[in-house]
Structure formats: C-alpha cells, structure tokens
Copies of this chain bind each other. A is one copy, B any other.
Amino acid sequence: LPPRRIVTLTTDFGLVDTFVGRMKGVALGICPDVEIVDLTHEVPAHDVEAAGYLLWTAYTAFPPGTIHVAVVDPGVGTERKGLAVRTEHHVFIAPDNGLLTRVLEEEPPGAVHFLEATHYFRGEPSATFHGRDIFAPVAAWIARGTDLAHLGPEATEWVRLPRRPLDLAPGRPSPVRVLHVDRFGNATLDVARNILEPALARSAGRLSVQTLAGPVSELRRTYGDGSGPGPFLLFNSSGHLEVALREGRAADALGLEPGLDVLLILEA
C-alpha cells in the first residue's frame, strides 16, 4: 500500500452546503495524511442507484488500496445498517441500501462487515448525518490501518438492487434504461460493450436504439468522428453504449432522462 491512503467520496450532498467539508475535517482529524478525492457530490438527491453507477464509473481509475466512501442515504437514522467491504483491490464503505450492487457484481466481495463498533464513530452519531459521524471516521480509521474485522460482525446478506436482465436476440426489441446524462448531454444506456459486441457479432451486425423522438443507429468511434448533424451511438469511456450529438446535447434533443427506457434492436 502507498504511504498515503486515498479516500474517495461520492455523495448527493452538493457543494453549496458544508456537508462534504465536514466529512473531510473529521477524516483528517483521525488520519492527517489521508488523500481525499471527490468523485462527485452531485448524485441526484436520494438516488441510490445513480450513486452506484457513478462510483462504478470511477473506482477502477484508482490504485489498489483506495477506500471508496459513498453516501446517498435516504434511510439515515433508521434501522438500515452501514457496510464496509473489502474486495481484491479496493475497500468500499456505504449504507446497506443497495448502493454497492453494481460495483460488487464486478469486483466480488472478500470480506463484508456491518459497521457496529461505535468507538470508530464520531462521538454519539446524529440521526441525520452519518456521512460525518460514521462513514468518514470509519474510512479514516481504515486508512490508519484498522482491519475491517474490528468494525463489526461479518455480513452474509446485504441489500442488492434488482437488475433487469438484458436479453439480446436479433429482431426483438429489448428495453434498456437511460443510466445517466452527462455534462455534455450524452445519454448513457445500461448496456455494456462486453455484452453488446458479441451479440452484434452473432447478428447481422446492425444496431438501432429506438427513442420517442426516433431511431438512432449510426455507431461511431468517438465524438469528433463523421460529419452528419444527427445523433449517433458510441461506447463511452466506461464501456457503456451512449447516445451523443456532435457538439450538441443528445439527451435534450431526444428527450432522454435517467430512468427512462429506450428500445435496443439488433437487426436480424
């Protein structure tokens, strides 16, 4: 492990309030040489699934030993538990509300522990801000070397968000969800390259995404390719299929929003 452990933060706290700064203050008080990196604090409020997707896009960019804290927590102060998970390369800390579903499908958990040992918390935790009172201090103690086994009992079950299976068969439309609309208006679809490319190879090879505003079927390699003015498809930097528009906002042009479905069609 590197001498300075990295802690990443993913929340829906925004940057207008001081929630994020307070988490950092608590962590630095416990582990002064921790390196804290913001992934995003603009997860839509209370959207646990979006938080899981955004964390998933970013965690593999970090070196082994990184501790990822994600707090989107509509159930704060209720009976929901907290989790610390060690995988082969990373540590993840989050409320047990399904946030880690997508990450743990890709990076199987080694050890999973509930956060119950209150002496790793900040005093008497508030009922409203476990980011400051539980998740940040626990991350800082792990950065200082605390083993996950000290944090609480091993968990054998935890909350998983349901995932709709993707069934790609030529000629039959498959519903696919819009996962995210990025800063440039690109709409990310819940279809990974490593699933879609083999299916494309087995079909006649043409692909179409049907939106309420019409079909999009041209697959390009990058945003600057080609000259046509209309929307097109590409695989983005996380390996997901994306609807884009050259120097424009595809999501606005086509009425795409996170949570909406489009239809994916492999032509027969």
Contacts and interface: CB of A to CB of B under 8 A. Distances in A.
B74 A247 contact: yes
B58 A18 contact: yes
A142 B23 CA distance: 24
B25 A62 contact: yes
Give the dominant DSSP class at A's interface. Answer: loop
B223 A76 contact: yes
Interface of A: 2-4, 6, 8, 10, 12-26, 28-29, 32-33, 35, 37-42, 45-46, 54-55, 57-58, 61-63, 66, 74-78, 126-129, 132-133, 180, 182-184, 221-225, 234-237, 247
Contacts of A10: 18
B77 A224 contact: yes
Nearest to A43: B16
Nearest to A39: B21
B62 A184 contact: no
User: What 5 A-B pairs have minimum CB-CB distances, sorted nearest first?
Assistant: A77-B222, A129-B237, A14-B183, A25-B61, A29-B63
Given A18-B55, A21-B37, 19 more contacts: A6-B25, A12-B183, A15-B15, A17-B57, A17-B180, A18-B40, A18-B58, A20-B38, A21-B38, A23-B61, A26-B61, A28-B63, A29-B62, A45-B183, A45-B184, A61-B132, A76-B224, A129-B237, A132-B237
B221 A127 contact: yes
Contact of A58 (B22, B61, B75, B225): B22
A24 to B, nearest CB: 5
A223 B16 contact: no
A136 to B, nearest CB: 9
Contacts of A222: 76-78, 127-128
Contacts of A76: 222-224
B25 A63 contact: yes
Contacts of A62: 25, 28-29
